[in-house]
């Protein structure tokens, strides 16, 4: 998916990211008017810095920035199982219209997403089929080995 962004949007994002990492976590949320969430992130960020050092502060800053950009926390992003291609067509069209893209550009972008998902899914299916085949071969080999008798077993059965 190709996202066309203006220099102004990129500048705002850079300022929000800098505010979250260099000033205080929650700065990007405060800039978007989400005061309660911004203040919570600021408090948790300071506590995380005291408890865990800079890594704790950066983790809260990353969560704040993610929440300001997507509306979801990093925890939600990592636990919902959604990948980068898992968004609705409505979201894609809405974003394209807001950016002034033509219908042809929006359709092209969606087609690229569909092609990417198609290749991703076919690769996953092929890998899964290969793993199942390998497991079945392993099971067959184990059965064949257990059915073969050892020389000691053969001589004791003959006696």
| Of 61, 80, 99, the domain-final residue | 80
Same domain, 49 and 118: no
Helix (H, G, I), strand (E, B) or coil at 149: coil
Nearest Cα neighbor of 34 from 48, 20, 23, 47 is 20
Which run of H or E residues covers position 131?
Answer: helix 103-147
Same domain, 38 and 50: yes
pTM: 0.49
- What does the alpha-carbon distance between residue 68 and residue 29 come to, in Å, rounded to a whole number? 5
Instruction: Identify whether 155 is part of a domain.
Output: no
Question: Does 7 have pLDDT greater than 50?
Answer: yes
DSSP 153: H
Same domain, 118 and 139: yes
Same domain, 72 and 98: no
Mean pLDDT of 70-75: 84
pLDDT at 2: 54
| Structural domain that includes position 118 | 82-146
Give the residue with greater pLDDT, 28 vs 6: 28
pLDDT at 152: 57
Same domain, 114 and 129: yes
Instruction: Identify whether 158 is part of a domain.
Output: no
Same domain, 73 and 21: yes
- What does the alpha-carbon distance between residue 111 and residue 42 come to, in Å, rounded to a whole number? 41
| Of 34, 49, 80, the domain-final residue | 80
What confidence tens digit (pLDDT) does each residue in 10-32 have?
A: 898 899 999 999 999 999 999 98
Instruction: Identify whether 154 is part of a domain.
Output: no
pLDDT at 54: 93
What is the percent of the chain where pLDDT is above 70?
A: 82
Same domain, 43 and 70: yes
- Which pLDDT band holds residue 1 (cuts at 50, 70, 90)? very low
Instruction: Identify whether 110 is part of a domain.
Output: yes
- Which pLDDT band holds residue 158 (cuts at 50, 70, 90)? low
What confidence tens digit (pLDDT) does each residue in 84-135 have?
A: 555 677 788 888 888 898 989 888 888 887 887 788 888 888 888 888 888 8
pLDDT at 48: 93
Same domain, 25 and 13: yes
| Of 80, 102, 127, the domain-final residue | 80
Question: Does 78 have pLDDT greater than 80?
Answer: no
């Amino acid at each position: 998916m190709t996202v066309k962004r203006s220099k102004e949007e990129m500048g705002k994002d850079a300022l929000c990211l800098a505010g979250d990492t260099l000033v205080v976590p929650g700065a990007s949320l405060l800039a978007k008017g989400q005061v309660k969430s911004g203040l919570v992130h600021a408090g948790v960020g300071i506590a995380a810095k005291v408890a865990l050092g800079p890594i704790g502060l950066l983790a809260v800053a990353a969560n704040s920035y993610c929440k300001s950009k997507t509306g979801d926390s990093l925890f939600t992003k990592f636990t919902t199982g959604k990948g980068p291609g898992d968004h609705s067509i409505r979201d894609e069209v809405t974003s394209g219209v807001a950016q002034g893209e033509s219908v042809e550009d929006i359709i092209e972008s969606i087609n690229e997403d569909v092609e990417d998902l198609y290749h991703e899914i076919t690769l996953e299916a092929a890998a899964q089929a290969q793993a199942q085949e390998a497991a079945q071969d392993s099971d067959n080999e184990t059965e064949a080995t257990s059915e073969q008798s050892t020389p000691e077993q053969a001589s004791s059965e003959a006696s």
